[in-house]
């Protein structure tokens, strides 16, 4: 946990080479990186008082200066609670675009070919690599596709989307492909489903992030599928 009063300790940590945990403070700049393993959740307070909640398999880089606050999401998902500072916008960058705020609460998730944004409180500006952009308010979401195009705002259930913060996976008419992608974040062994009709089957249910095997046990009774175990420890979902 990083607090504003601990800057001197952060410098010492960096000098000792403590990997992702090292922050350095130089000419009013704060820089560092954070990373979580699969099925690991972590809460971090930044020097400006903003809070980050990192989902599993997440990697971010942070760069603060006197005029800007930048976080680059390299992988995974983060719930941001941003301290208000109208003179220093808070910008989250991804491969597809950026999200800009001065103070609010929102979630950003990096998908294989897109960036998903959902706002719980306040408002944010979502901008693609080109001129495409959208302004989101509480209860709205959007996404930036691989070409940098921003989708028009749409209603989202932020409670369901961010249930991972309480260790839950909440699926509301999700495709099996989406369920597998989400559950895989919390498994040490691969879980997959081949593209096609099976992957497009839909599911509404709630499971624990700490017991994704319960999901695998339940699936054959919910959908016309079976679970195939492979010698390498991976699991494949196939048609029954």
Q: Could you state, in order of their start, the residue ranges of all structural domains in the chain? A: 28-156, 167-239
Going 209 to 213 to 216 to 219, the CA torsion angle's sign is: negative
CA distance 225 to 22: 47
Crossing angle (nearest 10°) for helices 212-222 and 176-183: 160
- All residue ranges of the chain with pLDDT < 50 are 1-28
Domain covering 167-239 in this structure, CATH number = 3.55.50.30
pLDDT at 192: 94
How much helix, strand and coil, in percent to the nearest 5, is found in the chain? 20, 45, 35
Residue 22: the pLDDT is 38
pLDDT for res 18: 33
> What does the pLDDT read at residue 29?
66
pLDDT of residue 12: 32
pLDDT digits (tens, 9 = 90+) for 105-118: 999 999 988 999 99
The correct CATH number of 28-156 out of 3.30.56.10, 3.40.50.720, 3.40.50.1980, 2.60.120.1440 is 2.60.120.1440
- What is the strand order of the sheet 191-193 is part of? 191-193, 235-239, 225-229
């Amino acid at each position: 946990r990083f607090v504003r009063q601990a800057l001197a300790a952060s410098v010492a940590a960096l000098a000792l080479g403590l990997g992702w945990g090292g922050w350095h403070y130089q000419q009013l700049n704060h820089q560092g990186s954070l990373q979580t393993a699969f099925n690991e959740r972590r809460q971090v307070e930044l020097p400006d008082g903003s809070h980050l909640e990192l989902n599993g398999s997440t990697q971010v880089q942070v760069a603060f200066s006197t005029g800007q606050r930048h976080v680059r999401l390299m992988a995974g998902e983060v719930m941001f609670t941003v301290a208000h500072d109208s003179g220093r916008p808070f910008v989250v960058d991804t491969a597809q675009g950026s999200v800009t705020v001065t103070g609010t609460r929102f979630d950003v998730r990096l998908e294989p070919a897109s960036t998903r944004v959902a706002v719980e409180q306040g408002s944010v500006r979502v901008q693609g690599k080109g001129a495409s952009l959208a302004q989101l308010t509480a209860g709205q979401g959007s996404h930036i596709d691989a070409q940098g195009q921003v989708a028009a705002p749409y209603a989202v259930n932020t409670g369901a989307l961010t249930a991972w913060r309480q260790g839950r996976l909440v699926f509301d008419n999700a495709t099996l492909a989406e369920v597998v992608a989400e559950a895989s974040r919390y498994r040490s062994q691969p879980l997959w489903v081949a593209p096609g009709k099976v992957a497009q089957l839909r599911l509404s249910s709630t499971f624990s992030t700490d017991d994704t095997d319960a999901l695998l046990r339940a699936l054959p009774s919910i959908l016309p599928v079976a679970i195939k175990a492979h010698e390498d420890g991976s699991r494949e979902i196939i048609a029954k």
